[in-house]
Structure 1
Amino acid sequence: MRPVVEQLEASRIREVANEGLGRADVLKFWFGESDEVTPAFIRDAAVASLHAGETFYAHNLGLPELREALAAYTDGLHPGRGTAHWQDRLAVTSGGVNGLMLASQVLLEAGDEVVVVTPAWPNLVAQPRIMGARVTCMPLRVQADGPRAGAWVLDLDALLAAITPATRLLVVNAPNNPTGWTLSRAEQAAILAHCRRTGTWILADEVYERLYFAGDTPNGAAPSFLDVADADDRVIVAHSFSKSFLMTGWRLGWLVLPPALTNPVGKLIEYNTSCAPVFVQRAATVALQRGAEVTPALVEHLRRCRDTLVPLLRELPGVTLAEPQGGMYAFFRLAGQDDCLDVAKRLVREVGLGLAPGSAFGPEAAGWLRWCFASRDTDRLVQGVNRLRGWLAAGEARAA
């Protein structure tokens, strides 16, 4: 076995989830998914495809109908260039995870230097390392006081200083899992201009682009590198159907690439998965065509969930928490509770509350907890806070 594979860390979120196996009483907010099922019309499209006998291989890069729908969808979010601008820049992948791994495979060789903005979903750090790259983590910093106390923010100067002509790839996830931090358009432009000078590729994980609450963009989506980059820029943007279309279990995503990389990625898809299942692609095509029936309502519901949870958490003693601008997570710290993995396990065992430990997303997030607020019922969020409040009170009583 390659040492880098042997040294891969098991998921700390699943380690916590294992504490609640077989318990129906646990309120589960640990995984990054909504507890709402995929809309019926999307599921029906998959069923119709299966009934039609579409059980065979498809094009490596995806069904033409899906790629056309993706081009129209992308142009709708990033208008002004027309769908033809996007059609030869799309690759359908077997999940966002697969898309990100394909990007590492097409770009990285052993020994390449990679910079990753952290805290981040652990795959973003692990995938370049699996390819043999040397990874430097550039942590966001926590705003200590003021109205945004607890917010994670980017030290842009420090990031740019870390990206040199020796840096092959910059990996950035915004809106960010777990912190809710989001890049501004000006920051994206500055990063792109710097990476043009250094010859550095940018891999932008924008799977939470539509789950954005600031409302300061014309299309309602978070700022995207696709709005500032030219077609031939060294920029790859990864997307997924999981979050914005309630399709986590379907395992379908896509990459937006420079045209010169599209066919090489198609070859890599052949050697990884050959293609995504046709019935899943049919469902995704309908999801895009009728997305107005899903995503806007989902975003507004998530806003209500956020606006329910965050004020309640802030009322608890010792909580540090900033309102997230994007994503589906409240990322907070409990004063005096630095071992977040132990805290997360105890919360499951003692009060049936399932949260993710911040240390799963990097050492700089140790002591923090992630709460996925994508709940179909806001009452469950209130119940969860009540359980956390009771656990904190019991701890104070024991200490007294």
Structure 2
Amino acid sequence: MRPVVESLEESRIREVANAGMGRSDVLRFWFGESDEVTPDFIREAAVASIQAGETFYAHNLGLPELRHAIAGYTHGLHPQRATDHWFDRIAVTSGGVNGLMLASQALVEAGDEVVVVTPAWPNLVAQPLIMGATVKTVPLTVVPTGDRAGAWVLDLPVLLAAITPATRLLVVNAPNNPTGWTLSRDEQTAILAHCRSTGTWVLADEVYERLYFAGDSANGAAPSFLDVAEPDDRLIVAHSFSKSFLMTGWRLGWLVLPSALTHAVGKLIEFNTSCAPVFVQRAATVALQRGDEVTLPLVRHLQTCRDTLVPLLRGIPGVQLAEPRGGMYAFFRLAGHDDCLLTAKRLVREAGLGLAPGSAFGPEAAGWLRWCFASRDPQRLVQGVERLRAWLDQNQRPSANVAGL
């Protein structure tokens, strides 16, 4: 076994979840998915495909019908970058995870330098490490006081200074898992301009693009690098059907990339998975054709969930939390409970409350907890906060001046 693979850390989220598996009394908010099932019309499209006998291989890059649907969807979100060539820039992948790994395989060689903005979903650091890269992280910083206390923000000059001509790839996830941080259009423009000057590729994980609550965009989506990039820029954008279409278990995603790379990525897909299953692609095509029936109500519901959970958590003495602008997570710190992995395990065992430890997303997030608020019934969030309060009371909850954290 390669030493870099041996040294990969196991998921700390799974470590916590495994402690609660098989217990029906645990309120589970640890994984990044809604507890709503995929809508009927999407599932029915998959069933119809299987019944029609579509059980054979497909094109490496995906069914043409699906790629055209993704191209139309992309153009609808980014009309200011109008192009007739979206189709030629689309590669369908077996999940967003697979798409991100394909991007690393396409761009990163052993010894390359990769910069990753953190805290981040652990795969974003692990994937270039698996390819033999040297990974340099640039942490977001926490606003300590004021109305935005607990918010994670980017120190743009620090990030730009970290990206040099030796940097092969920049990996950035916004809206961010776990913090809810989002990039501004001006920040994206500055990052892209700098990476052009250094010859650095940008891999943008934008799977939470539609889960955006700031209300400052015409189409309801978070700012995207596709809004400011040219078609031939060194930019790959990763997307997934998991979050915005309630399709986490289907394992389907896509990449938007320069058309010059599309054929080569198709070859990589052949050597990884050959292709995505046809019946899953049929379901995804219908999901895009009727997407607003899923995504718009989902975003409204997630905002209700966020607006239910955040004030309740903020009402607990010692909690530091900023309202997330995007994604599906509340990321918070409990004063006096700095070992977040131990705290998360104790909450499962002693309170029946399943949260993800912040340390799963990088050392800079140690001491924080992630709460996925994508709950079909917001009352479950209320119950979860009640359990957290009761547990803190039983464990002599410390009084804290949050502004002084």
Name the TM-score, length of structure 1 as normaliser: 0.99
In 1, Cα distance between the equivalents of 2:180 and 2:398?
A: 34
Partner of 1:317: 317
Partner of 1:68: 68
Partner of 1:343: 343
> Helix, strand or coil: the match of 1:237?
strand
Residues 1:91 and 2:91 aligned together? yes
CA shift for structure 1 position 121 = 0.1
* Contact 2:173/2:204 (8 A) holds in 1: yes
With over 3 angstroms needed to count, the CA separation of the structure-2 counterparts of 1:335 and 1:59, relative to structure 1, is same
Partner of 2:185: 185
Partner of 2:326: 326
Percent sequence identity over matched residues? 82
With over 3 angstroms needed to count, the CA separation of the structure-2 counterparts of 1:350 and 1:398, relative to structure 1, is farther
Partner of 1:231: 231
In 1, Cα distance between the equivalents of 2:34 and 2:265?
A: 30
* Contact 2:180/2:326 (8 A) holds in 1: yes
In 2, Cα distance between the equivalents of 1:80 and 1:392?
A: 50
CA shift for structure 1 position 57 = 0.1
With over 3 angstroms needed to count, the CA separation of the structure-2 counterparts of 1:174 and 1:81, relative to structure 1, is closer
> Helix, strand or coil: the match of 1:294?
helix
In 1, Cα distance between the equivalents of 2:290 and 2:91?
A: 21
CA shift for structure 1 position 398 = 11
In 2, Cα distance between the equivalents of 1:14 and 1:123?
A: 13
In 2, Cα distance between the equivalents of 1:254 and 1:5?
A: 26
Deviations 1:151-170 (A, max 9, x none): 00000000000000000000
CA shift for structure 1 position 82 = 4.3
> Helix, strand or coil: the match of 2:161?
helix
Deviations 1:2-46 (A, max 9, x none): 000000100000000011121000000000000000000000000
Partner of 1:146: 146
CA shift for structure 1 position 319 = 0.1
* Contact 2:335/2:398 (8 A) holds in 1: no
> Helix, strand or coil: the match of 1:316?
coil
In 2, Cα distance between the equivalents of 1:46 and 1:134?
A: 41
Write the letter of the residue equivalent to 2:357.
P
Write the letter of the residue equivalent to 1:42.
I
Partner of 1:107: 107
In 1, Cα distance between the equivalents of 2:398 and 2:116?
A: 41
In 2, Cα distance between the equivalents of 1:236 and 1:222?
A: 17
Partner of 2:403: none
Partner of 1:155: 155
Partner of 1:393: 393
Point out where structure 2 has 5 or more consecutive residues left out of the alignment: 400-405
With over 3 angstroms needed to count, the CA separation of the structure-2 counterparts of 1:72 and 1:83, relative to structure 1, is farther
Deviations 1:260-312 (A, max 9, x none): 11000000000000000000000000000000100000000000000000000
CA shift for structure 1 position 85 = 2.5
* Contact 1:34/1:374 (8 A) holds in 2: yes
> Helix, strand or coil: the match of 1:128?
helix
In 2, Cα distance between the equivalents of 1:351 and 1:84?
A: 55
Partner of 2:5: 5
With over 3 angstroms needed to count, the CA separation of the structure-2 counterparts of 1:3 and 1:290, relative to structure 1, is same
Give the total of aligned pairs.
399
> Helix, strand or coil: the match of 2:24?
coil
> Helix, strand or coil: the match of 1:97?
helix
CA shift for structure 1 position 317 = 1.2
Residues 1:300 and 2:284 aligned together? no
Write the letter of the residue equivalent to 1:297.
P
CA shift for structure 1 position 80 = 3.7
CA shift for structure 1 position 345 = 0.2
CA shift for structure 1 position 84 = 2.2
Deviations 1:156-189 (A, max 9, x none): 0000000000000000000000000000000000
> Helix, strand or coil: the match of 1:204?
strand
Partner of 2:194: 194
In 1, Cα distance between the equivalents of 2:20 and 2:309?
A: 22
Deviations 1:222-270 (A, max 9, x none): 0000000000000000000000000000000000000111000000000
Partner of 2:254: 254
Partner of 2:276: 276
In 1, Cα distance between the equivalents of 2:90 and 2:274?
A: 16
Write the letter of the residue equivalent to 2:311.
P
> Helix, strand or coil: the match of 2:85?
helix
Cα RMSD (Å) of the superposition? Answer: 1.0
Partner of 1:267: 267
Residues 1:357 and 2:354 aligned together? no
* Contact 2:112/2:132 (8 A) holds in 1: yes
* Contact 1:71/1:83 (8 A) holds in 2: no
> Helix, strand or coil: the match of 1:211?
coil
In 1, Cα distance between the equivalents of 2:269 and 2:173?
A: 23
Deviations 1:37-72 (A, max 9, x none): 000000000000000000000000000000000000
> Helix, strand or coil: the match of 2:128?
helix
* Contact 1:71/1:84 (8 A) holds in 2: no
Write the letter of the residue equivalent to 1:26.
V
> Helix, strand or coil: the match of 1:101?
helix
In 2, Cα distance between the equivalents of 1:81 and 1:70?
A: 15
Write the letter of the residue equivalent to 1:4.
V
